[in-house]
Amino acid sequence: MQFAGSHILSISQFERADVEQLFTVADAMRPYAHRRRRTCVLDGAILGSMFFEPSTRTRISFGSAFNLLGGEVRETTGFEHSAIAKGESLWDTARVLSGYSDIVVMRHPENGSVAEFAAASRVPVINGGDGTNEHPSQALLDLYTIRSELAGRERDIDGLRIAMVGDLCFGRTVHSLSKLLSLFADLRVSLVSPEALKMPAEVVDNLQAAGHQVLETDALEQGIADVDIVYSTRIQEERFASREEADLYRGRFRLNQSVYTANCEPNTVIMHPLPRDSREGARELDIDLNDNPNLAIFRQSDNGVLVRMAMFALLLDVADQISEHDAPVNWCTERRF
């Protein structure tokens, strides 16, 4: 893949060598993301950030990543603050926004909308999540986290045993992660969901065509036994016709410390793209796991900054110039990491 100047719309664009290149750059971002050094390699560059659905991690970490590289962020959140509310098309919006920015990140509730925007954009566009379709940067940070959690456990991504649990139908993160995992070898993937929220058939077919074992089950205990990673997901209430319909499935699969102890291997890593639903009646990942050292969810969200910095560095073709523009930090950074 030619990163410089490209859009990142789908994990399907990636080959394994591209993932490895991105992760090498992400590793090099650690001193900057951890505020031990600072760099102004993107001084003068502008990120256009357009989020038409709620977001905490993706929006803020893309913005922080751009700021940490020395660039500035201009953002719009919600349709009500955009001229789209006055009937402006995505095509016109893209023509305008790409005149104001060097790169754009966008989240939109409709499948394919970010690709439609990118087709009219004059600058690179990153998909920050489009409907139930894809969330490529999340998959990349998830895999980066898996790689880093497995390091030191004598396990590798090749041969990985992973369970994905929850709303596998509407959850875009598991669609993108499954596509990304299919680039690796000899995986065993357990897909734990209610029948009505199963992983789309084309995603399962893609994993099987790549030679991976896939088990589909609605039994949590069966799915999470003998795995390296449990990747829990929230019921995507916003994709259902009503809250009542989502309630049919909410709380169906609850991973808590006692379920973990009874069914998982002692070192099984617990992941979740977040937000987890901590309301009574949901709790797919219980807060009683917060002191479990294998709970990787906040290491995962931290890794979002590294991976998104690497994406910007590669798409804007400055990955080999970072250290030419760096300096020590002069503020207190103790106890952050």
Catalytic residues: 57-58, 86, 107, 135
The reply on whether position 67 binds ligand CP by CB under 6 A is no
The reply on whether position 56 binds ligand CP by CB under 6 A is yes
The reply on whether position 64 binds ligand CP by CB under 6 A is no
Edge-to-edge strand ranges of the sheet holding 125-130: 72-77, 46-51, 103-108, 125-130
Q: How far is the CB of 154 from ligand CP (least distance, A)?
A: 29
Q: How far is the CB of 128 from ligand CP (least distance, A)?
A: 7
In the numeric block, the tokens 């940490």 are attached to 68
The reply on whether position 101 binds ligand CP by CB under 6 A is no
Considering only the stretches 18-26, 195-203, 205-213, 271-279, report the one whose residues sit in contact with ligand CP under the rule CB under 6 A: 271-279
Kind of pairing between the strands at 213-217 and 229-232: unpaired
Closest to ligand CP by CB, 55 or 64: 55
Distance, CA of 112 to CA of 134 (rounded, Å): 9
Q: How many CB atoms lie within 10 A of CB 67?
A: 14
Q: How far is the CB of 234 from ligand CP (least distance, A)?
A: 9
Closest to ligand CP by CB, 197 or 274: 274
**From 48, 63, 71, 273, residue interacting with ligand CP (rule: CB under 6 A):** 273
Torsions phi, psi of 196, nearest 5?
-75, -15
Cis peptide before 275 (omega within 30 of 0): yes
Closest to ligand CP by CB, 55 or 217: 55
36-55 residues in contact with ligand CP (CB under 6 A) are: 55
Distant-in-sequence, close-in-space partners of 109: CB < 8 Å, separation ≥ 6: 52, 53, 130, 131, 238
Q: How far is the CB of 16 from ligand CP (least distance, A)?
A: 24
Do residues 69 and 46 make contact, with C-beta atoms less than 8 angstroms apart? Answer: no
The reply on whether position 58 binds ligand CP by CB under 6 A is yes
**From 274, 295, 314, 318, residue interacting with ligand CP (rule: CB under 6 A):** 274
The reply on whether position 113 binds ligand CP by CB under 6 A is no
Q: How far is the CB of 152 from ligand CP (least distance, A)?
A: 25
| Binding region for ligand CP (CB under 6 A) | 55-58, 129, 138, 273-275
